[in-house]
Amino acid sequence: MYPENKKMNIIIVDDHPIVMEGLQKLLHNGFDIGELKQFSSGDEFLTFLRKEHGPIHVVVLDINIPGRNGIEVCREIKLTSQDTIVLGFSNHAERSIILQMLQNGANGYLLKNASAAEIIAAIKEAMDGHLAFSKEVREILARPSVTELMTVPRLTKREKEILKLIAQGKTSVEIGEMLFVSPLTVETHRRNLMHKFKVKNAAALISVAAQLQQL
């Protein structure tokens, strides 16, 4: 647990002045602040992070920022300062983005429509060593994704071969030449694969197949 009597050093990385101003006031009201710094780009903050300075206890990090995005910045923060608490703070409510942040070491994720009380509570929860989310993010994570609900389709040996070649960017003509079959036969297999994976194009086929660990 983070000591209650210790002053906190907090960083806000966001390129919206109104958001920065609002967060600054909220954090000063909710915590005993030692130092509060603001950066409008990920690269600017990472330059600061690599310099000598006192401990950074919490980073409130937007996803869409100039330069490297918040997902990449989160990873860099954790590589440089493992103990720093990183909270995603964004309008992006896509489950995939939330999960990417968590995979890169984030200690939680808040949507920008969260109330002041939610934000303060989430920071305190993260400081206590827990993953912290605003209410809406909890609801998003509680709902399984489409691919999580899908059963892995049964593929023939030939379909597996063609699926891997599609993922490599090969055309039907190229695949046909490699497998000694006609392009029409490859197209038939391609349609069967999209039907089995319940997708409408090759890009979606590759994405879903990868998520189901079929590549």
Kindly indicate the confidence band of residue 133, based on its pLDDT and cuts at 50, 70 and 90.
Answer: very high
CB within 8 Å of 3: residues ≥ 6 apart? none
Q: Is the pLDDT of residue 2 over 60?
A: no
Query: Quick one: average pLDDT of 61-85?
Result: 92
Kindly indicate the confidence band of residue 4, based on its pLDDT and cuts at 50, 70 and 90.
Answer: low
Q: Is the pLDDT of residue 191 over 60?
A: yes
Give me the pLDDT at residue 140, please.
87
Query: Tokens 């994405």 — which residue?
Result: 207
pTM: 0.68
CB within 8 Å of 126: residues ≥ 6 apart? 58, 85, 87, 107, 108, 132
User: b vs e for 59-95, b when ≥16 Cβ sit within 10 Å of the residue's Cβ?
Assistant: bbbbbebeebbbbbbbbbbbeebeebbbbbbbebeeb
Least confident of 26-35, 51-60, 143-152: 143-152
Does the fold of domain 148-211 match that of domain 8-142? no
Strand 8-13 and strand 33-39: the pairing is parallel
CATH for 148-211? Answer: 1.10.10.10
* SS3 (DSSP) at 35: strand
Q: Is the pLDDT of residue 125 over 80?
A: yes
Give me the pLDDT at residue 1, please.
46
Q: Which CATH superfamily is domain 8-142 in?
A: Response regulator (3.40.50.2300)
Q: Where are the domains of the chain?
A: 8-142, 148-211
